[in-house]
Amino acid sequence: MNERPIFETDALIAVDIGAYLEAHQSKSLLRFITCGSVDDGKSTLIGRLLYDSKMIFEDQLAALEADSARHGTQGDAVDFALLVDGLAAEREQGITIDVAYRFFATEKRKFIVADTPGHEQYTRNMVTGASTADLAVILVDARKGVLQQTRRHSYLVHLLGIRHVVLAVNKMDLVDYDRETFEAIREDYATFASEVGIENVTAIPISGFRGDNITPREDGAPSPSTPWYDGPSLIEHLESVELSATTAQDRAFRMAVQWVNRPAQDFRGFAGQIASGTVRPGDAVRIVPSGKVTTVAAIHTFDGELAEAVAGQSVTLTLADEVDCSRGDVIAAANDPVEASDQFCATMVWMDETAMKPGRGYWLKLGTKAVTAMIQPPKYEIDMTRLDRLAAKTLELNAIGVTEFATDQPIAFEPYATSRELGGFILIDKFTNATVAAGMIEFSLRRAQNVHWQPTTITREEHAALKNQTPRILWFTGLSGSGKSTIANEVEKQLALMNRHTFLLDGDNVRHGLNKDLGFTETDRIENIRRIGEVAKLMADAGLIVLTAFISPFRAERRMVRDMLPEGEFVEIFVDTPLEVAERRDVKGLYKKARAGELKNFTGIDSPYEAPEAAEIRVNTVDMTPAEAAQYIIQQILPLK
Amino acid sequence: MKALTHLERLEAEAIHIFREVVAEAEKPVMLYSVGKDSSVMLHLARKAFHPAPVPFPMLHVASGWDFRELLAHRDRTVAEYGLELIVAENEDAERDRINPFDTGSALYSQAQLTDPLKRALTQHGFDAAFGGGRRDEERARAKERIFSFRTATHRWDPKNQRPELWNLYNTKKTVGESIRVFPLSNWTELDIWQYIALEEIEIVPLYLSGPRPVVERDGMLLVVDDDRFRLRPGEVPQTRSVRFRTLGCYPLTGATPSEATDMNAIIQEMLLATGSERQGRAIDKGQAASMEDKKAQGYF
């Protein structure tokens, strides 16, 4: 069966290693992903590819045989699946539960395979594996045909921008290599694929277990078991598919700046990996978002200066003029630059156990830029099986939805459909540091792409100077009844006596006006704080000392407001009154109601209070009176000039 | 139009990874074992930051039982490229009690390699450490991320790794946590050798065949590198033409009989070989999941 003519130069290894190496030095690299349902034979197929391309050594084969006897599911035969099922826990369960990367090579190409699981709950892993793949092999069990999971996987493959799909109809040996069965599955899948938008499908009848139509035969004929099949073997197809890295060269030049290389005064190089296009010394380029235009002076590498560099290469550029350019900026072709925006519509795949919190600020990393992004509630969630839109208020683990978001500064981008490099992003939770979502930018929400901040003549510094003071936001946080409003009021009174211009924003008062449309769910509380933060910031821009008294129970929101302001301007004041004391006082009778179940989501009772970890100032109303606390706070913040 | 070869793509990817870490980490370090993978990593690091010097130190975990040629190569390389070298070793008192002849392999690697490594990372406050691990080496490695997170006690939790999408690496961490970064994740052993040949990277001569004093023990060919080697009754070192596919502590690393004295011959032997490269390491024997267990404890 396995003549392995794909390794025809193997004979050279023994007789002329130099010629062999020369033949193998200029291979290209194809990354692909395999996806299928449990028991579709994915691991067996990959094990077979590794085995057939001689990636398995004798000691590994011996270990495999021992493992096959212990855990194998193929009777006495060697279970190839055990070759690729990596972690001990998984081996015992007999399933793969994470993304594993495998390597093999043929005469023409080196391959990196992302092996991803078939379980429904592991959308996250499949998206991860698909993000770097040029091609997807979708496995279908010939006995079962196209399943719901096949449809989900195909949707994800398309979503992640994979243009080449192989429908591998596996286990043909178990349906007696029946042509009708194969054709029926092929047609069934073609209908679904065109609905999803997948254009390029190659269906191949295979048996991973028996090795049919995996590798080409010497005479170019299909496996003798499928004489009716006249297409390529899986390997032949993988060897001939066009690489996206090559097509990226046809697009306009873009490079995200990773690192500024300044070894000496006279050298200032911008290091990065070229996302698309080609670049030559003398090319006119534009720095985005600043918009400055200059030309490329030289392309530096360790191996000397280059006359040209192309997509995929990591280089260091020097520019003809001293323009402002740093990590996160994109250097782009001047006559066809990328856009910059701070408002987007994107498809997001939620990857964390904790659901999306609309309104909360997350880190967003796109290219080499990290910014804060404020996520809106999803416009809709997508049902991957039926391709329907579902109403949704948030996205749970493994859910996919379309969402709008705003960033705290403009970023250079391209739609994901144009560029994976400048259109794909991840979201990072600011507290757990977990990667919580993957996103693909659809378009910018800014109609006019050139709208930037309107520069005002009177700056915030001038506003403050007129008032002869330094703006501050004194952010009081603490439980209900802890004494925030009382102390804040006292602080404001004393500051007024000192001729300072102040304004006190109080929780209850704001809810009567600006935020009267908001309730007390977690999402609403986040939006409440976001609005207050924005208002406080405007007031600080006007030169005021702003005092805010809100429970503001979540660290993430307090941090969000802190991040909006210049360093040092946000002063977090923790009114650290214990819950027992606040509850005993119960000035507004709210604790009583909450305990009785009449008030939902009450902080300290059935909703958490996340105490500050490093508040600038900490006071309480047990050891000090409100006046003493206020006095103490003022001592800490003076001189305020 | 220029199609990048697989080695050019792997090189560009590794350079991108090096630069991301230097741009985002506070205090990176490179784990420099002086082996072939480390030599490739160092070469890539020099490429990534050229014309600036490599902007982080090299950390070598020396067990005290390293090949002399390896230490000489290390010192020569460090001097030639003007690198900062930190050598991590087990504490003296304990080092005297532990040796590769009497101590079991699990305790030995914990005491001489894993513990000194963890101590050095903590002492210097390194928050990112480059390692030469490759996904093709071993099954547990195949699922390792390129950026792999360690708790403040340097433990690896295979169930709690961050998804890694596109070429976007999340480097955020809290105080005490660190990242192990593997720029060679997607390289295979053949890629490493081809790249060494192509780029003419200098490696420890032990990888090339030469006449060396050898004893055969428990199915392994061990080179008697110095007079601390304890010969068993009846063992007489014989001069044989051998080389190493991997370099660990000399009394624990098996050599292979070989006549390969240049790079092409090495690759030829490798392609015709029937055993994987870790076969020569006593430390990796034992139960199939041993690498996974060791990684969980902080081994690279």
Give the pLDDT score at A69.
65
Q: Which of A62-71, A370-379, A398-407 has the lowest mean pLDDT?
A: A62-71
B93 pLDDT more than 60: no
Integer CA distances (angstroms), A424 to A346, A414, A540, in order = 9, 9, 35
Q: Which of A88-92, A225-229, B296-300 has the lowest mean pLDDT?
A: A88-92
Per the CB < 8 Å rule, is B12 touching A314? yes
Give the pLDDT score at B54.
97
More confident residue, A13 or B194: B194
Give the pLDDT score at A81.
66
Instruction: List residues of A with catalytic annotation.
Output: 552
Give the pLDDT score at B283.
46
Q: pLDDT tens across A476-524, in order?
A: 999 988 889 899 999 999 898 888 899 998 877 788 888 888 887 777 8
Give the pLDDT score at B300.
57
Identify which of A84, A267, A366 has the shortest CB distance to residue B51.
A267
B291 pLDDT more than 60: no
A419 pLDDT more than 90: yes
Through-space distance between the first and last CA atoms of chain A, rounded to whole angstroms = 85
Bridge partner residues of B123 (DSSP): none
Mean pLDDT of all residues in B88-116:
77
Give the pLDDT score at A91.
47
Q: Which residue of chain B has the CA closest to A82? A: B139
pLDDT band for position A360 (50/70/90)? confident
A93 pLDDT more than 50: no
Q: Which residue of chain A has the CA closest to B277? A: A57
**Cβ neighbours of residue B259 under 8 Å, at least 6 residues apart?**
B209, B241, B265
Q: pLDDT tens across A183-217, in order?
A: 999 999 999 899 888 988 999 999 988 889 998 87
Per the CB < 8 Å rule, is B162 touching A435? yes
> Are B146 and B185 contacting, i.e. CB atoms less than 8 angstroms apart?
yes
Per the CB < 8 Å rule, is B51 touching A366? no
Residues of A in contact with B51 (CB under 8 A): 261, 263, 267, 269, 300
Helix (H) or strand (E) holding A136, with range, is strand A135-141
pLDDT band for position B289 (50/70/90)? very low
Give the pLDDT score at A3.
39
A355 pLDDT more than 90: yes
A277 pLDDT more than 60: yes
Give the pLDDT score at A95.
40
A2 pLDDT more than 80: no
Q: Please state, in angstroms and rounded to a whole number, the distance separating the CA atoms of residues A58 and A578.
A: 67
Residue percentage of chain B with pLDDT more than 90: 52
Per the CB < 8 Å rule, is B265 touching A17? yes
Mean pLDDT (chain B, rounded): 85
> Are A189 and A146 contacting, i.e. CB atoms less than 8 angstroms apart?
yes
A449 pLDDT more than 70: no
The alpha carbon of residue B288 is apart from the nearest alpha carbon of chain A, in Å, by 8
Q: Which of A60-69, A215-224, B159-168 has the lowest mean pLDDT?
A: A60-69
Answer yes or no: is the ipTM higher than 0.95. Answer: no
Sole residue written with tokens 């090495």: B266
Give the pLDDT score at B159.
65
Give the pLDDT score at A5.
39
Structure tokens of B261? 């004295």
Per the CB < 8 Å rule, is B139 touching A84? yes
Q: Which of B5, B6, B277 to mutate to test the interface with A (most CBs of A within 10 A)?
A: B6
Give the pLDDT score at B1.
61
A258 pLDDT more than 50: yes
Give the pLDDT score at A64.
64
A549 pLDDT more than 70: yes
Sole residue written with tokens 């009754």: B233
Per the CB < 8 Å rule, is A110 touching B163? no
Q: pLDDT tens across A309-351, in order?
A: 999 999 999 999 998 899 999 999 999 999 999 999 999 999 9
List A residues 275-334 in contact with B (Cβ-Cβ < 8 A).
Answer: 300-303, 308, 310, 312-314, 316, 327
Q: Please state, in angstroms and rounded to a whole number, the distance separating the CA atoms of residues A204 and A200.
A: 13
> Are B62 and B95 contacting, i.e. CB atoms less than 8 angstroms apart?
no
Q: Is the peptide bond before A410 cis (omega within 30 degrees of 0)?
A: no
Q: Which of A582-596, B59-73, B141-155, B257-271 has the lowest mean pLDDT?
A: B141-155
The alpha carbon of residue B4 is apart from the nearest alpha carbon of chain A, in Å, by 7
pLDDT band for position B131 (50/70/90)? very high
Give the pLDDT score at B242.
95
Q: Measured on CA atoms in the order A437, A443, A445, A451, is the torsion positive or negative?
A: positive
Sole residue written with tokens 């390794």: A7
pLDDT band for position B276 (50/70/90)? low
Bridge partner residues of A573 (DSSP): A476, A617
**Cβ neighbours of residue A361 under 8 Å, at least 6 residues apart?**
A372, A373, A374, A408, A430, A556, A557, A559, A560, A563
B184 pLDDT more than 60: yes
Residues of A in contact with B11 (CB under 8 A): 314
Q: At A529, which amino acid appears?
A: I
Q: Is the peptide bond before B205 cis (omega within 30 degrees of 0)?
A: no
Mean pLDDT of all residues in A28-56:
80
Give the pLDDT score at B282.
47
Sole residue written with tokens 């080695």: B7
Residue percentage of chain A with pLDDT more than 70: 88
User: ∠ CA(B254), CA(B258), CA(B259), 5° rounding?
Assistant: 155
Give the pLDDT score at A523.
78
Mean pLDDT (chain A, rounded): 86
Structure tokens of B145? 């991320």
Give the pLDDT score at A165.
96
pLDDT band for position A4 (50/70/90)? very low
B201 pLDDT more than 80: yes
B/e letters for A108-123, b = 16+ CB within 10 Å, e = fewer, are bbbbbbbbbbbeeebb
Through-space distance between the first and last CA atoms of chain B, rounded to whole angstroms = 40
Closest by alpha carbon to A278, among A301, A250, A306, A297?
A: A250
> Are B4 and A278 contacting, i.e. CB atoms less than 8 angstroms apart?
no
The alpha carbon of residue A134 is apart from the nearest alpha carbon of chain B, in Å, by 12
The alpha carbon of residue A136 is apart from the nearest alpha carbon of chain B, in Å, by 15
Number of H helices, E strands in chain B: 9, 10
Residues of B in contact with A132 (CB under 8 A): 165-167
Q: pLDDT tens across A562-600, in order?
A: 888 888 899 999 999 899 988 988 888 889 888 888 888
More confident residue, A169 or A624: A169
Q: Which residue of chain B has the CA closest to A112? A: B186
Give the pLDDT score at A451.
41
Q: Please state, in angstroms and rounded to a whole number, the distance separating the CA atoms of residues A230 and A202.
A: 12
Q: Which of A86-95, A112-121, A445-454, B140-149 has the lowest mean pLDDT?
A: A86-95
Per the CB < 8 Å rule, is B142 touching A100? yes
Q: pLDDT tens across B18-47, in order?
A: 999 999 999 999 999 999 999 999 999 999
> Are B188 and B138 contacting, i.e. CB atoms less than 8 angstroms apart?
no
